[in-house]
Chains A and B, each alone.
Chain A
Amino acid sequence: NAGVTQTPKFQVLKTGQSMTLQCAQDMNHNSMYWYRQDPGMGLRLIYYSASEGTTDKGEVPNGYNVSRLNKREFSLRLESAAPSQTSVYFCASSELDRGNTEAFFGQGTRLTVV
Chain B
Amino acid sequence: RKEVEQDPGPFNVPEGATVAFNCTYSNSASQSFFWYRQDCRKEPKLLMSVYSSGNEDGRFTAQLNRASQYISLLIRDSKLSDSATYLCVVNPGWDMGRRALTFGSGTRLQVQP
Please indicate whether A and B come from the same complex rather than being unrelated chains: yes
**Hey, which bits of chain A sit against chain B, CB under 8 A?**
31, 33, 35, 40-45, 48, 50, 56, 58, 88, 90, 92, 94, 96-97, 99-100, 102-103, 105-108
In the complex, A103→B98 CA distance in Å?
15
Determine whether the beta carbon of B43 is less than 8 Å from that of A90: yes
Determine whether the beta carbon of B104 is less than 8 Å from that of A42: yes
In the complex, A56→B89 CA distance in Å?
20
Q: Which 4 A-B pairs have the closest CB atoms?
A: A105-B43, A42-B105, A42-B103, A43-B103
Determine whether the beta carbon of B4 is less than 8 Å from that of A56: no
Chain B residues whose CB sits within 8 angstroms of the CB of A100 once the complex forms: 32, 34, 49, 51
Determine whether the beta carbon of B44 is less than 8 Å from that of A43: yes
Known pairs A40-B8, A107-B43; A33 contacts B100 (CB<8 A)? yes
* The residue from B42, B51, B89 contacting A107, defined by CB atoms under 8 A apart: B42
Q: Verify if B46 is at the interface (C-beta below 8 Å from A).
A: yes
* The residue from B42, B43, B87, B99 contacting A42, defined by CB atoms under 8 A apart: B87
Place the interface of chain B in its size category: 20 to 34
Q: Mark B77-113, 1 if CB is under 8 A from A, else 0.
A: 0000000000101010000001111111110000000
Determine whether the beta carbon of B44 is less than 8 Å from that of A105: yes
Report which residue of B44, B46, B104, B106 has the largest number of chain A beta carbons within 10 angstroms of its beta carbon: B44
- Least Cβ distance of A108 to chain B in Å? 6
- Least Cβ distance of B76 to chain A in Å? 23
Can you name the residue of chain B whose Cβ is closest to the Cβ of A43? B103
28 residue pairs from A and B, CB less than 8 Å apart:
A31-B99, A31-B100, A35-B103, A40-B8, A42-B87, A42-B103, A42-B106, A43-B44, A45-B98, A45-B100, A45-B102, A58-B100, A88-B41, A92-B101, A94-B101, A96-B100, A96-B101, A99-B32, A100-B32, A100-B34, A100-B49, A102-B34, A103-B46, A103-B89, A103-B101, A105-B44, A106-B43, A108-B43
